[in-house]
Amino acid sequence: MKSVRAVLDYLVSGDVSYIFGIPAGSVNAFFDELYDTPSITPVIAKHEGAASYMAAAYAKYSGSLSVCIGSSGPGGTNLVTGAANAMREHLPVLFLTGAVPVDTVGLNASQELHADPLYQSVTKYSQRVDRAEDLLPEIHKAVEIALTGVPGPVHIAMPIDVQLSSVTPPALPAFPERLPLLPDDEKIQKTAEKLAGTSGFIFAGQGIRGSVEDVLELAETLEWPIITTPQAKGFIPDDHPLLKGIFGFAGHEEASAFIHSNEAETILVLGSSLGETATNNWNPALAANRTLIQVDYDATVFNRKYPVDMAVHGDINVTVSSLITALNQLGQRQKRMAAFPQRSQEITPEYNTQNVLLSLQKLLPENTRYTVDIGEFMAYVVHYMNVRSTDSFDINVHFGAMGSGIGSAIGAKLAEPERPVVSLTGDGCFFMHGMELLTAKEYNIPVLFIVMNNARLGMVHHGHTLQYKRAHERFGQEAVNITAMAASLGVPSASVHSMEDVNEDTLGEVLKSSGPAVLEISLVDDNVPPMGDRVKFLSSFGK
């Protein structure tokens, strides 16, 4: 059998359902085997970068390994950004790239690229396989690395001749399963004793995904306030009485005021690496004169920027549950708290980003998941939009790749088909990856793409104006009718030009589609986005 056939059989054994990418000569052998692999659907994107975002979101919301493939050369380089994105979010994605035949390496072969070194800094493991008998073992090793310990992306480069070479049909190795990282029992006991004897607050990052109920129980047991990072928006309900809001990029004054007060002796960090956007540019007030206790499954996050007094290494769900048990044994019990009325934001008649987003959210299904792209609108989402259902916002301000929210919406919808998904993007992002509308159409994937069209790079415009007191005219661009563009692709669309257009009739036009649809918001908003201290931080350099 061909060595690449064994790879497909192995992926089938791991219940892989989709492979995201683009076919090409160097991976045609792989795609040819898909004819005989009906359980795996190839999702053919319009750009490898978009395919990588689809794969990352699919891994995030399916809780399983995702697979993404591209050609040698440019296909491989186009996937690198997505690998870096997956690395920052600890998502298990197997990136496969083609490679030129082994005996042509170094001869300037068509699309030759020494890809494995490129991926080494943005994956947990990257390797080129030069012998057919090693292909399946290396794939298995990579998948094992992707799924164990701290999950993350891996990369294997497959030369054309290696894929096509015959091998003795191998016994398929057992597909890896991730085992939980268990915290040390003695460390749990000491941490619980410390928590029970002090005042403090919980600082929650996106690592609490899948552990929200336990985190809320812990907060109610300690009666400690909760502050989240921007990436964790959507996990803690707005109506929980202990929620103080978001700290960091586009955060809330209430959260910032609490952190700058002396009310809390201890900060318990759950699932945050305490990076730049989460900490408002590494604000020292976060941990100043406080005991810092940090819980994470990634031990490398401890003591990066903030000295940690107690580090607890383990999965968030297991660790938080163990802390609750230890606190119960110390006599502390959960004090269940009634929900507050949800924080309501006033919607005024002014046609601006804040009012449009809040109005749209009221009209869309309550359990909608928003995959939020990179742009000025992202600040409004973080600061103003309500958390109406759990895990409702996919915000990747960590790596900040423009256009990632478009592919992410497709991957998220495939992972959880029953949940409504909205891609909230801008015209700048749309011009990078907007052709994935066709991908969604071809696979009949019902995602609503809301495009904030202001005919400029909005965040760049505002940030540059605030920092340098001027913005180059070329940050703007000629206005494009995105509604007409979508219509030319055969995708249902509607446009909004005023607050009066934001209504059930307009949304009804696009929501009735069984496939993708576009809602264009034509709006130039000169209000300064609520970006927090981001501009002050950038302005501090060179002074």
Mean pLDDT, consecutive 10-residue stretches, the chain (543 aa), reads 97 98 95 96 98 98 97 95 95 96 76 88 97 97 97 97 94 95 97 96 96 97 96 92 93 94 94 94 94 97 97 97 98 87 81 95 96 91 92 86 93 98 94 95 97 72 63 72 94 96 93 93 83 54 47
**Largest distance between two CA atoms of the chain:** 72
Q: Which CATH number applies to 353-534?
A: 3.40.50.970
Looking at domain 185-329, its CATH class is: alpha beta
Cβ-based neighbour number of residue 457 at 10 Å: 23
- Whole-number pLDDT of residue 147: 97
Token look-up 């900040």 returns 400
CATH topology match: 185-329 vs 353-534: yes
Residue 468, pLDDT score: 67
**Which SS3 state, helix, strand or coil, does residue 101 take?**
coil
Check if the beta carbon of residue 202 is closer than 8 Å to that of residue 227. Answer: yes
- What's the pTM? 0.93
Give domain 3-164's CATH superfamily: Thiamin diphosphate (ThDP)-binding fold, Pyr/PP domains (3.40.50.970)
Q: In the chain, where are the structural domains located?
A: 3-164, 185-329, 353-534
Distances (CA, A) of 138 to 133, 221, 282: 9, 47, 39
Q: Give the number of C-alpha atoms closer than 13 A to the C-alpha of residue 178, restricted to the C-beta side.
A: 19
What pLDDT score does 540 carry? 47
Q: Compute the distance between CA of residue 404 and CA of residue 374 in angstroms, rounded to an integer.
A: 8
Joined together, the tokens standing for residue 19 give 């492979």
Residue 295: per-residue pLDDT? 98
Whole-angstrom Cα distance, residue 67 to residue 288? 43
Question: pLDDT at position 103, please?
Answer: 83
Question: Long-range contacts: 387-393, Cβ < 8 Å, 24+?
Answer: 387/233, 387/234, 387/235, 387/236, 387/237, 387/238, 388/238, 388/342, 388/361, 390/212, 390/234, 390/235, 390/237, 391/209, 391/212, 391/234, 391/235, 392/234, 392/367, 392/368, 393/233, 393/234, 393/369
Two structure tokens written together for 241: 């009485």
Calculate the alpha carbon distances from 521 to 27, 161, 347, 461 in Å. Answer: 40, 50, 17, 18
- Contact between 261 and 423 (Cβ < 8 Å): no
